[in-house]
């Protein structure tokens, strides 16, 4: 999951002609931390996702859409062995960021 999100953020960053350092500066993290997020070594939070989306001029959904597409196709094709660890990681990600999502949603639609 982290790799999918990181790759998608990298694709969008390159398409918008930003460097890792420029994105990192604008979202308030070190370039090294941002590089680890793009490489899938660090988990990405909804807070980071929303900041990156804002800098790139896209929505969080534009970034996370890759989670809906790739794993489902790979699973149906039998190309990926989905483990309970991945499912728990996804659940942890969801619940850890549920409050922040609600806050962003309220701010955008208030």
Select from 2.40.10.10, 1.10.260.40, 1.10.3470.10, 3.40.50.300 the CATH code of 2-109: 1.10.260.40
For residues 83 and 104, give the distance between their C-alpha atoms in angstroms, rounded to a whole number: 31
Higher pLDDT, 25 or 78: 25
Question: DSSP letter at 70?
Answer: H
**What's the confidence (pLDDT) of residue 74?**
46
Mean pLDDT score across all residues of the chain: 79
Q: What is the pLDDT of residue 82?
A: 54
Q: List pLDDT tens digits, range 74-96.
A: 444 444 555 666 776 676 677 66
Residue with tokens 């990156």: 52
Cβ-Cβ contacts under 8 Å for 82 (sequence gap 6 or more):
71, 75
Query: In this predicted structure, what is the pLDDT of residue 45?
Result: 85
Q: Where are the domains of the chain?
A: 2-109
30 pLDDT above the threshold of 90: yes
Say whether pTM exceeds 0.85. Answer: no
């Amino acid at each position: 999951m982290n790799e999918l999100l990181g790759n998608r953020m990298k694709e969008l960053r390159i398409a918008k002609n930003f460097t890792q350092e420029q994105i990192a500066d604008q979202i308030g993290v070190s370039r090294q931390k941002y590089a680890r997020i793009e490489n899938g070594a660090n988990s990405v939070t909804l807070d980071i996702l929303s900041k990156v989306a804002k800098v790139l001029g896209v929505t969080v959904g534009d970034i996370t859409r890759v989670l809906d597409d790739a794993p489902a196709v790979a699973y149906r094709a039998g190309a990926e062995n989905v483990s309970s660890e991945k499912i728990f990681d996804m659940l942890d990600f969801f619940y850890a960021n549920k409050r922040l999502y609600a806050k962003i949603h309220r701010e955008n639609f208030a």
